[in-house]
């Protein structure tokens, strides 16, 4: 749980910090976009105002010409009257030519003498002037000129007003050719960034200005342009969209003026506007990535440290449990050993004292000697088992390896144990195949294996039970010795520990069966020293047990002494 908390709390803190910073960045992005829109709107308004003032100065001159026309008699006045007036007006205006027509559209006076006498009756500007009932400034559709003007203009916009006599009758028109290239220097100075654009459209869909120059050229008809279309629909407003096929998003503010009739727009590149925000986002992302990496490293080190500490605690706990188990086994062993030694010693001492005091009559003397000898042999077997275990553990158990018939070894052990079985009332049966074959081994130690198995079976089989010894050859050049009984059986829980040293299913001092729990451990060690294996099976308490020893036939043992020596080395 502590490891989980130590991991999840810093992660939650990091995620919370990142979430709050993401909200801040999102807010900052929206603010930068709004600031960009405001800037575009301000620039569009300034541009529209500048162009309006530029046109207004031209319109003021036109108004003066209207007044002068009334003073000198209108278009019918002689050229000597008109020419000085037109020259003065031309000198102060960014225009190409000034033309005076009569009410029929014939040019009567002009700063361009070559066009005198020509008719403008069918031109759109003249018709618009004559058809309107009000005294207003009329701007005609821009038209290209053959050669660029000295100031760089490629278009001319006709601007005109009607002329009136003293009684208010229309006597003609005055038209100036306005050169829109004149304000271009101002438009170039408008700060729209490296990727921004300034647009000026005529209401007829002609592109009058584009700074900087691009795919759309001055004088092109662009009625489908997104900015022009939006301005025609809405008049004034903001547009956030791509303006060309490259898909780059622009923030565009547009303004529509009625007098003069112009559409001005300023487009700012959204990516350029958000560049500082993106740099800040990258810095924040790098910071959190670095923080996450550091946190990950710290977490890994912490988890590793906690894992190492947990492993150390587990090892310490395991070692403590092992030591406690070893102490418990040792205490149990010492208790069992003292009990197993005290029982025969008590009998030996009792009979010896009785013999020494002479209280045993002659008929009982033989019984006393037999009891002393029997208990002394029991002690000898206990000590022999302890010495065998010590030698096996230290790898110092001597083996006299030689070829031998395993059937004879089994028969000798059977004959040795038969009196014990008969004394207890246990039926001892055998099924020994005399042709089972030979093995390479120590005859005394193999006989000890069979003897221990038979002794164990007889000890745990009640009176009237049956013990069966089997010896036969198996497939694969192996020989099997099996001892089965109808005794008390082995519980499933104790079955895996049957061959461990000092292990007894009932280890209390009041148990019915004696012994140190070394016999089966010695059996396994001796069998393994001979290159074999031992297996036990039982169906449970009260259902008997079966022990199987499998040894390799003599032909399969290449070098028994080397194998035993190797095993000794491993044991040591």
Q: What does the alpha-carbon distance between residue 64 and residue 482 come to, in Å, rounded to a whole number?
A: 138
Q: What does the alpha-carbon distance between residue 391 and residue 397 come to, in Å, rounded to a whole number?
A: 5
Do residues 249 and 364 share a domain?
no
At 6 the pLDDT is 64
342 belongs to a structural domain: yes
117 belongs to a structural domain: yes
Do residues 323 and 180 share a domain?
no
Give whole-number Cα distances, 44 to 253, 265, 396, in Å. Answer: 6, 5, 106
286 belongs to a structural domain: no
Nearest CA to 404 among 454, 461, 365, 449? 449
At 228 the pLDDT is 93
Do residues 91 and 233 share a domain?
yes
Across the 572 residues of the chain, what is the mean pLDDT of every consecutive 10-residue run?
68 84 90 93 91 83 91 92 89 79 93 91 88 81 62 71 90 86 78 90 85 76 91 93 89 88 91 92 90 84 82 88 78 64 74 81 80 77 74 79 90 89 91 88 89 90 93 86 92 85 58 64 88 91 92 64 34 28
Query: What residues contact residue 509 under an 8 Å CB cut-off, 6+ apart?
Result: 335, 336, 339
- 481 by Cβ neighbours in 10 Å (0-12 / 13-18 / 19+) ranks as buried
Do residues 188 and 308 share a domain?
no
DSSP structure class, residue 554: G
At 569 the pLDDT is 31
Do 178 and 99 touch, CB atoms closer than 8 A?
no
- Give the domain range for residue 27: 1-273
388 belongs to a structural domain: no
Do residues 249 and 312 share a domain?
no
Do residues 369 and 506 share a domain?
no
Do 173 and 119 touch, CB atoms closer than 8 A?
no
Query: What residues contact residue 213 under an 8 Å CB cut-off, 6+ apart?
Result: none
Q: Which long-range contacts (CB under 8 A, 24 or more apart) does 456-459 make?
A: 456/483, 456/519, 456/520, 456/547, 457/483, 457/484, 457/485, 457/487, 457/545, 457/547, 458/417, 458/420, 458/421, 458/424, 458/426, 458/428, 458/485, 459/513, 459/515
Domains: count for the chain: 3
Do residues 412 and 477 share a domain?
yes
3-state helix vs strand vs coil in the chain, percent to 5: 50, 20, 25
Place of tokens 């209390």: 508
E strand or H helix at 302: helix 275-357
Nearest CA to 69 among 86, 94, 93? 86
293 belongs to a structural domain: no
Structure tokens at 504: 């007894």
């Amino acid at each position: 749980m502590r490891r989980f908390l130590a991991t999840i709390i810093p992660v939650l803190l990091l995620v919370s910090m990142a979430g709050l910073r993401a909200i801040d960045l999102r807010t900052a992005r929206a603010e930068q976009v709004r600031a960009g829109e405001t800037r575009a709107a301000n620039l569009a308004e300034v541009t529209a105002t500048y162009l309006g003032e530029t046109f207004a100065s031209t319109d003021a001159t036109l108004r003066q010409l209207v007044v002068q026309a009334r003073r000198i008699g209108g278009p019918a006045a002689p050229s000597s009257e008109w020419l000085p007036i037109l020259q003065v007006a031309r000198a102060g205006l960014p225009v190409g030519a000034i033309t005076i027509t009569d009410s029929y559209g014939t040019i009567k006076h002009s700063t361009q003498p070559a066009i005198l006498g020509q008719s403008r009756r069918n031109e759109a500007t003249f018709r618009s002037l004559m058809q309107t009932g009000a005294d207003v400034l009329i701007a005609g559709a821009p038209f290209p000129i053959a050669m660029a003007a000295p100031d760089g203009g490629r278009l001319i916009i006709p601007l005109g007003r009607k002329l009136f006599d003293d009684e208010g009758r229309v006597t003609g028109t005055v038209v100036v050719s306005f050169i829109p290239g004149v304000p271009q220097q101002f438009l170039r100075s408008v700060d729209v960034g490296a990727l921004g654009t300034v647009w000026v459209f005529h209401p007829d869909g002609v592109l009058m200005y584009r700074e900087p120059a691009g795919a759309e050229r001055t004088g092109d008809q662009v009625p489908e342009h997104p900015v022009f279309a939006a301005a025609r629909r809405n008049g004034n407003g903001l547009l956030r969209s791509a303006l060309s096929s490259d898909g780059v998003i622009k923030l565009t503010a547009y303004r529509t003026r009625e007098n003069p009739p112009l559409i001005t727009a300023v487009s700012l590149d959204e990516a350029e506007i958000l560049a500082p925000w993106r740099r800040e986002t990258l810095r924040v992302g790098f910071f959190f990535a670095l923080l996450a990496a550091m946190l990950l490293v710290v977490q890994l080190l912490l988890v590793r440290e906690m894992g190492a500490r947990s492993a150390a605690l587990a090892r310490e706990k395991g070692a403590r449990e092992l030591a406690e188990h070893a102490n418990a086994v040792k205490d149990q062993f010492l208790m069992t050993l003292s009990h197993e030694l005290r029982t025969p010693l008590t009998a030996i001492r009792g009979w010896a004292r009785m013999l020494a005091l002479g209280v045993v009559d002659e008929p009982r003397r033989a019984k006393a000697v037999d009891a002393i000898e029997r208990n002394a042999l029991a002690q000898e077997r206990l000590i022999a088992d302890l010495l065998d275990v010590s030698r096996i553990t230290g790898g110092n158990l001597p083996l006299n390896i030689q070829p031998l018939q395993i059937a004879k070894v089994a028969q000798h052990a059977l004959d040795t144990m038969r009196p014990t079985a008969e004394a207890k009332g246990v039926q001892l049966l055998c099924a020994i195949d005399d042709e089972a074959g030979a093995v390479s081994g120590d005859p005394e130690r193999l006989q000890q294996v069979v003897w221990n198995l038979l002794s164990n079976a007889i000890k745990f089989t009640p009176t009237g039970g049956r013990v069966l010894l089997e010896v036969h050859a198996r497939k694969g050049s192996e020989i099997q010795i099996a001892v089965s009984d109808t005794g008390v059986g082995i519980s499933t829980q104790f079955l895996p520990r049957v061959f461990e040293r000092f292990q007894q299913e009932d280890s209390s001092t009041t148990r019915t069966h004696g012994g140190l729990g070394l016999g089966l451990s010695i059996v396994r060690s001796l069998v393994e020293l001979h290159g074999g294996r031992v297996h036990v099976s039982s169906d449970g308490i009260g259902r008997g047990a079966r022990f199987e020893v499998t040894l390799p036939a003599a032909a399969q043992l290449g070098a028994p002494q080397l194998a035993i020596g190797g095993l000794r080395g491993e044991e040591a």
